[in-house]
Amino acid sequence: MTEPVLEVADLRKTYGDLLAVDGVSFSVWPGGSLAIVGESGSGKTTVAKMIVGLERPTAGTIRACGRDRSSPARSTGERRRRGREVQIVFQDPYTSLDPRQTVERALDEVLRLHHGWDREQRRRRVLELGELVGLDARQIRALPRSLSGGQRQRVAIARALAAEPKVLILDESVASLDVSIQAQVLNLLADIRDETDISYVVISHDLAVVRQLTEETVVMWHGRIVERGPTPRVLDRPGHDYTKRLRASVPRPGWKPKRRNTAVSGARGE
Amino acid sequence: MIARAEPGVHLGRRSGLGILRATGPAGIGSAIVISAATFLAIFGRLLAPHDPNLGQLAYAYVGPLGGHPLGFDGQGRDVLSRLLAGAGTSMLGPLAVVVISIAVGTLLAVSAAWRRGAYDAVVSSGLDVLFAFPGILLAILAATVFGAGLLAAVLALSVAYTPYVARVLRGAALRERAQQYVAALEVQGASAISICLRHLIPNMLPLIVAQATILFGYAMVDLAAISFLGLGVQPPNADWGVMISENQSGVVQGYPLPALVAGICIVLVVVAFNVLGERLYEQAQPERV
Amino acid sequence: MSTASAANASTSAGPAGRHASGRALLEVRDLVVELPVEGSLRPVLHGLSLSIQPGEALGLVGESGSGKSMTARAIDRLLPPGARVRGTIRFDGRDVMGMEGPELRRFRTEVAMIFQDPRAHTNPVRRIGDFMTEALRTNEGVPLREAEHRAIQLLESVGIEDGPRRLRQYPHELSGGLLQRVMIATALLTRPRLLLADEPTTALDVTTQAEVMAILDELRREMGLAMLFITHDLELAAAVCDRTAVMYAGRVMEVRVSSLLHDDPLHPYTAALAAARPRIDATLPRLAAIPGRPLSAFEAPADACAFASRCPYVQEECGRRQPELVELDGGLTRCRRAVELRGTLGARRA
């Protein structure tokens, strides 16, 4: 039996009195794809940030490629090694690239960080990565400002892949893209998974995107996992009330929005 | 391709000349005044037609003569020569203040924005305390400790200006810190120092330049005031602030020319720096989406 | 007036289409908008035409750069300074572009607008009550007490029960969904006849979106309010609007009764848009992505179909002439192959 490539156990995060993440556990297997579904404030993005080390868990353990990463890296070497284990692509294509850096230089910077290659090797790899995500040589030399949102998101994906990670976290990575571009990027992500043994953790509120990209789903609500299972089962026959409500809220042909008829109280409560 | 509004400070994508052109005629005019002042600061001493320190008391407060287009000061020294020779210290002082306060201010701002939390709180409240001390007060203090002179005045003003710089730049550093490319580089395993040096500070550079420019003008006025009070550059060294101070009595006696020309030089340079600085600052502001 | 517009519609097969029988509440014809960008004028709308009947909800769907938001801004006379506008906008028979002073103010009470980001359209230091009742008090001279009473009633109808307390709160004390409901209540306070809704639910969670849409739908029907609903979400527009107009690069490509939009679209772009979305009920082996990227209005060719470069049904002729918006099967379409392709573009074709 193979080891999970990413294992999260009993993860907890509090901000003062606020319990943002409470007892979250899941595993991702090599080549597998797991969705974390939930709405804003469900804690799904906090989980992602803890996995990549941008937030420190209050309690619980995170293991990637068999190594613990629950506490901050102690050395430069360890920090970079963690970078080669798990990578992330964020939501906003407009701030995810340094405006002063060409695509080429952004990719080269990451390659230099991880691989002891000479200039020629890195140059070749930059072109390969560009090809993998569908950017031509002209776009590789361009500054972010002359690229569209979809193209920038491809660059962000290429930059994450430059570290040759085992796990790629996609944090609402296609949410801000136009429908026609979103489809291109979703197809690209599927191709990359076919060609490599990479695993995905897809963080999304968009159930159709989740259906397209993942096999397993966990549903988060108020910091906890309220439902988990194979994606088709969770979406077609949701068990938890919240999942049912989420599923029923998705616009589709013949859908009519319904009022929940609940009184609203509490300052920010919804 | 449509140019989208991007958050962050992004002046650096244009060439230096392009930025200057965008500051308009007032900005370009200011740049010309500043260039001229800088030229005089470097070569002024060589251009002086007479010895700036040679006094001929017989000529005290004598008006323009042939070979002395601006006349003489109270000690019979050639005003034009003193003006040219004084450009050096008058410009060097503010330059030193700007370099020190921008360097320290940037360091504090970026480190506070990077580490946030308790460190940021300590730095910010420390700066708030410093804010309470006016530059002149610090200068008097410094003069009593180090003895009156340019060095004391420069140190005092650098300390007084640093909180101002740090506060403005901290906002920009926090904004840049929050950009997702910074988080992406952290996840890649890049070190904080390399991210700050290679990404954060270069992206803040337009704002830093604008700040430095505005500050230069303020520093010049403050240093002139300190010299006027006798705590800065010491006579008989030529300095525009010293020139105003030395020729006070001339103003009272109805011969204001030596003090006036020194004052005009200060005002011209200060206004030029302020106008250019403000224009650059406007351009360095983040574009709103 | 109504006969004139009906005659016009029948001769030119214009966009008033089948709804030309009664007088349209809003009639936009050949609207061209150009905005100043870096010293030159850039087109954002190329001769846009649409009409909304009293009480009707029209969806306006498009990708970024299609000009959908600019359409609403042009209708409400909210274009940035320096914008150049041609064409006609008629509201209840009155010429909107010629309005000034009191007439424009009255028009703005009859046409309300809600936006994607309610927080950007509220003043953070003013209380909700102030903000809600301002228009009533200043434009209609309604006394404060009565204005507040009406505000509380409307808050109740958008599902906010503790109105008196909410009126004393500041915008930052409310969540995004709650604030958007306040915005809807505020928009409805002046009893408008047309609501311009620009992506009002895009920033909200899915379950909150469903709730807000339900409220909007219910109130709209109760008050007989017409709505222009702008969104990038084809399914959402189709679900809540009577008809849906699909925009691309500054032009309307198709107008269709919403119930037919998905199964029987008239324009290849509409069909491609629907097919490109992943499905919630099935994992597809591959999404039918549209090649290339959406064209902005200013990039659109004048004498060719703007979608031609991405269209699977493209023929040489498509690159030579700008197709007209013509009536077909009760809808409108801007495709020269529409008749040939009718009935084959629907989602159930495969």
3 state SS for B220-243: HHHHHHHHHCCCCCCCCCCCHHHH
The mean per-residue pLDDT over the stretch A44-53 comes to 96
Contacts of B2 in chain C (CB under 8 A): 65, 296, 298
Q: Give the closest-approach CA distance of B127 to chain A in angstroms.
A: 27
Q: Give the closest-approach CA distance of A142 to chain B in angstroms.
A: 12
Residue of C nearest to A181 (CA): C293
- Please report the pLDDT score of residue B1 as a whole number: 34
Work out the pLDDT band at C6, boundaries 50, 70, 90.
very low
Choose, out of B15, B179, B188, B205, the residue to mutate when testing the contact with A (most A CBs < 10 Å).
B188
What's the structural domain count of chain A? 1
The mean per-residue pLDDT over the stretch A191-205 comes to 93
**Residue A253 within a domain:** no
**Residue A239 within a domain:** yes
Question: Can you give the residue range of the structural domain that contains A211?
Answer: 6-94+165-248
- In angstroms, the CA B232 to CA B209 distance is 26
Contacts of A149 in chain B (CB under 8 A): 4
Residue A208 has pLDDT above 90, yes or no: yes
Choose, out of A148, A151, A180, the residue to mutate when testing the contact with C (most C CBs < 10 Å).
A180
- Other Cβ atoms closer than 10 A to A115: 15
**Residue A45 within a domain:** yes
Residue of C nearest to B289 (CA): C120
Choose, out of A49, A62, A82, A94, the residue to mutate when testing the contact with B (most B CBs < 10 Å).
A94
**Residue A116 within a domain:** no
Residues A142-176: tens digit of each pLDDT: 999 888 888 999 999 999 999 999 999 999 999 88
| Strands A67-68 and C194-198, bridge-based pairing | unpaired
The mean per-residue pLDDT over the stretch A86-109 comes to 93
Residues carrying CATH 3.40.50.300, chain C: 2-92+193-349
Between B287 and C208, the higher pLDDT residue:
C208
Q: What is the CATH number of domain C2-92+193-349?
A: 3.40.50.300
Residue C11 has pLDDT above 80, yes or no: no
- Please report the pLDDT score of residue B130 as a whole number: 87
Residue C14 has pLDDT above 60, yes or no: no
C103 close contact with A: CB closer than 8 A: no
Q: Give the closest-approach CA distance of C314 to chain B in angstroms.
A: 24
The mean per-residue pLDDT over the stretch A252-261 comes to 77
Q: Give the closest-approach CA distance of A39 to chain C in angstroms.
A: 6
What's the DSSP call for residue B68?
B
**Residue A175 within a domain:** yes
Residue B17 has pLDDT above 80, yes or no: no
Contacts of B191 in chain A (CB under 8 A): 76, 79
Residue of A nearest to C215 (CA): A259
Choose, out of C168, C175, C242, the residue to mutate when testing the contact with A (most A CBs < 10 Å).
C175
Q: Which of C332, C308, C312 is nearest to C321 (CA)?
A: C308
Residues A213-231: tens digit of each pLDDT: 999 999 999 999 999 999 9
Please judge whether A95 and B7 are an interchain contact, meaning their C-beta atoms are less than 8 angstroms apart.
yes
Choose, out of B115, B180, B205, B288, the residue to mutate when testing the contact with A (most A CBs < 10 Å).
B180
B2 close contact with C: CB closer than 8 A: yes
Q: Give the closest-approach CA distance of A262 to chain B in angstroms.
A: 35
Interface of C with A in 12-31 (CB under 8 A): none
Interface predicted TM-score of the whole assembly (ipTM), two decimals: 0.89
- Please report the pLDDT score of residue C272 as a whole number: 94
Contacts of C273 in chain A (CB under 8 A): 179-180
Q: Which of B258, B234, B273 is nearest to B89 (CA)?
A: B234
Q: What are phi and psi of C256, to 5 degrees?
A: -145, 145
Residue of A nearest to B181 (CA): A96
Q: Of A14-18, A266-270, B122-126, give the lowest mean pLDDT range.
A: A266-270
Work out the pLDDT band at C7, boundaries 50, 70, 90.
very low
Identify the architecture of domain B19-49+73-284 in CATH: Orthogonal Bundle (1.10)
Q: What are phi and psi of C76, to 5 degrees?
A: -90, 10
| Strands A6-15 and A18-28, bridge-based pairing | antiparallel
Please judge whether A143 and B13 are an interchain contact, meaning their C-beta atoms are less than 8 angstroms apart.
yes
Please judge whether A145 and B199 are an interchain contact, meaning their C-beta atoms are less than 8 angstroms apart.
no
Contacts of B3 in chain C (CB under 8 A): 37-38
Residue B53 has pLDDT above 90, yes or no: no
Q: What number of C-beta contacts closer than 8 Å exist between A and B?
A: 85
- Please report the pLDDT score of residue B286 as a whole number: 55
The structure tokens listed for C51 are 């009409």
A79, A90, A101 member nearest B183 (Cβ):
A90
Asked if residue C332 lies in contact with residue C254, where contact means CB atoms within 8 angstroms, the answer is yes
Residue C347 has pLDDT above 80, yes or no: no
Contacts of C298 in chain B (CB under 8 A): 2
Contacts of A110 in chain B (CB under 8 A): 188
The residues of C whose Cβ lies within 8 A of any Cβ of B are 37-38, 65, 296, 298
**Residue A111 within a domain:** no
Residue of B nearest to A162 (CA): B188
- Enclosing H/E stretch for B153: helix B150-177
A39, A235, A261 member nearest C207 (Cβ):
A39
Kindly report the CATH number assigned to the domain that includes residue A200.
3.40.50.300
C239, C279, C293 member nearest A256 (Cβ):
C239
Residues C215-235: tens digit of each pLDDT: 999 999 999 999 999 999 999
Residue of C nearest to A260 (CA): C211
Between B35 and B148, the higher pLDDT residue:
B35
Please judge whether C175 and A270 are an interchain contact, meaning their C-beta atoms are less than 8 angstroms apart.
yes
pLDDT > 90 fraction of chain C, expressed in percent and rounded: 67
Residue C16 has pLDDT above 80, yes or no: no
- Please report the pLDDT score of residue C12 as a whole number: 38
Work out the pLDDT band at B125, boundaries 50, 70, 90.
very high
**Residue A150 within a domain:** no
Please judge whether C277 and A208 are an interchain contact, meaning their C-beta atoms are less than 8 angstroms apart.
yes
Residues B170-195: tens digit of each pLDDT: 999 999 999 999 999 999 999 999 99
Q: Where are the domains of chain B?
A: 19-49+73-284
Interface of A with B in 179-238 (CB under 8 A): none
C249: left (phi over 0), alpha (psi -120 to 50) or beta: left
A236 close contact with C: CB closer than 8 A: yes
Between A26 and A270, the higher pLDDT residue:
A26
- Enclosing H/E stretch for C157: helix C144-157
Work out the pLDDT band at C121, boundaries 50, 70, 90.
confident
Please judge whether B184 and A143 are an interchain contact, meaning their C-beta atoms are less than 8 angstroms apart.
no
Between A122 and B74, the higher pLDDT residue:
A122
Q: What number of C-beta contacts closer than 8 Å exist between B and C?
A: 5
Residue B10 has pLDDT above 60, yes or no: no
pLDDT > 90 fraction of chain B, expressed in percent and rounded: 48
Q: Give the closest-approach CA distance of A76 to chain B in angstroms.
A: 7
Choose, out of C178, C206, C221, C311, the residue to mutate when testing the contact with A (most A CBs < 10 Å).
C206
Q: What is the 3-class SS of chain A, one letter each residue?
A: CCCCCEEEEEEEEEECCEEEEEEEEEEECCCCEEEEECCCCCCHHHHHHHHHCCCCCCEEEEEECCEECCCCCCCHHHHHHHHHHEEEECCCCCCCCCCCCCHHHHHHHHHHHHCCCCHHHHHHHHHHHHHHCCCCHHHHCCCHHHCCHHHHHHHHHHHHHHCCCCEEEEECCCCCCCHHHHHHHHHHHHHHHHHCCCEEEEEECCHHHHHHHCCEEEEEECCEEEEEEEHHHHHHCCCCHHHHHHHHCCCCCCCCCCCCCCCCCCCCCC
Residue B11 has pLDDT above 60, yes or no: no
**Residue A101 within a domain:** no
What's this model's pTM, rounded to 2 decimal places? 0.84
Sheet containing C243-248: which strands, arranged edge to edge?
C111-114, C194-198, C226-231, C57-61, C243-248, C251-257, C331-333, C326-328
